[in-house]
Amino acid sequence: MRIHVLYTGGTIGMTLTARGLAPGADLHGWLEGVTANIDARVTASDLEPLIDSSMATPESWQAIVDELRARRAGANAFVVLHGTDTMAFSAAAASFALGGFDAPVVFTGSQLPLGAAGSDAAANVSHALEAAARQPGGVSVCFGGLLLCGNRATKASSWAFDGFTSPSAAPLARIGAPWQWLSAPAAGCGWSDPAPYRRCDIAVVTMTPGITAARVRAALSPAPEAVIVRAYGAGNVPSSEPGLVDAFAQAIEAGVPVIVASQCPQAAVEVGRYAASDELGRAGAVGAGDMTFEAAFAKTAFLLSQGLRGAEVAAWIPRPIAGEIGE
Ligand code: ASP
């Protein structure tokens, strides 16, 4: 078994500087200690520049995908060390772009730097290596005692060691002695030969009590390539607000896909279930089902990067590409 560890940045390899935590720890020296007793040949490389994952862009996702593809011949499993802030976006993005990759990719990181007393770094990396050795394929997130589908995971806590959950999909495994294997990742139709991610202009508009049509119109001007509405509950918006739904409807008419996600971490968006979302649905907005916000965002960026537009993007939102959405 040959496992390659790709280090991209994040708290796990940070040290305290005068300006706060930043990458700079001796991750490779530390990794040698963590992997000393592992029954696999472990290699490691850095993705330059090492970043706080809050700086990640779709180009960063593509850099991870490219690096994994470039190293595929030299390893049969991969661990990606990543900051926790946007790990769920990157894992979802990787799952769409790595359909035919045929080797497991396990994302992990930590809440405390590797050098901090009581750090969760060593446990998370050991577990991720074990998951990489045991998984047949697919992109997953291994964190705080859970192995989760990469495109169903979300960061639920900024501080807890069990900081990731997958609110709408059972964990793949609960880590213990022995590991409890609970579910298999859902399949998707895959995407052959995907074009690279590019930076897309996706407007995310959060519904709040009292939001006005003027505020929504301002968020949609200049016209973005796609809109994700962070609606309430099952996909509801304050449709009694004069002009608010019209603002979204005009965007759809102009060829901009409008995707309705929920502010609830665990959601089953059904546009039109309530009268509050009926008009938006009739205008052509499409629900994100039970996708996490991160998966919905990464999927929209993926579809736009493939050159799809408007109704073509909307048509793909409910169709699983990599198991990211329930039937
Ligand atoms: N800001 C850090 C990052 O996402 C947080 C972490 O890694 O836990 O890169």
Protein residues with CB under 6 Å of any ligand 1 atom: 9-11, 52-54, 83-85, 109, 111
Q: Residue 232 carries which DSSP code? A: B
For residue range 172-184, list pLDDT tens digits in order.
999 999 999 999 9
Domains 2-181 and 202-316 are alike in CATH topology: yes
Pick the CATH number of 202-316 from 3.40.50.11260, 3.40.50.40, 3.90.1150.10, 1.10.1740.10: 3.40.50.40
pLDDT of residue 327: 80
Catalytic residue status for 208: no
Reported confidence tier of residue 113, pLDDT bands at 50, 70, 90:
very high
What is the average pLDDT across 54-81?
Answer: 98
Q: What is the chain's mean pLDDT, rounded? A: 97
Tens digits of per-residue pLDDT, 115-168?
999 999 999 999 999 999 999 999 999 999 999 999 999 999 999 999 999 999
Half-sphere exposure of 53 (CA within 13 A, CB side): 27
Structural element, H or E, at residue 22 = strand 20-23
Percent of the residues in the chain that have a pLDDT greater than 90, as a whole number? 98
Ligand 1: distance of its center to the CA of 76 in Å?
27
- pLDDT-derived band at 25, boundaries 50, 70, 90: very high
Q: How far is CA 43 from the centre of its chain?
A: 25
Instruction: Give the residue-averaged pLDDT of 30-54.
Output: 95
DSSP secondary structure letters along 121-190: HHHHHHHHHHHHHH--SSEEEEETTEEEETTT-EE--SS-TT-EE-TTS--SEE-SSS-EE---PPP---
Ligand 1 pocket test: pick from 7, 14, 17, 85 the residue with the most ligand atoms within 8 Å of its Cβ.
Answer: 85
- Predicted pLDDT of residue 223: 97
Q: Which of 47, 54, 154 to mutate to test the pocket of ligand 1 (most atoms within 8 A of CB)?
A: 54
Angstrom distance (rounded) from CA 296 to CA 321: 12
CATH architecture assignment, domain 2-181: 3-Layer(aba) Sandwich (3.40)
Q: Is the predicted pLDDT of residue 226 greater than 90, yes or no?
A: yes
Q: Where are the domains of the chain?
A: 2-181, 202-316
Rounded to two decimals, the pTM is: 0.97
The phi, psi pair for 42, rounded to 5°, reads -110, 125
**Atom 3 of ligand 1, nearest CA residue:** 83
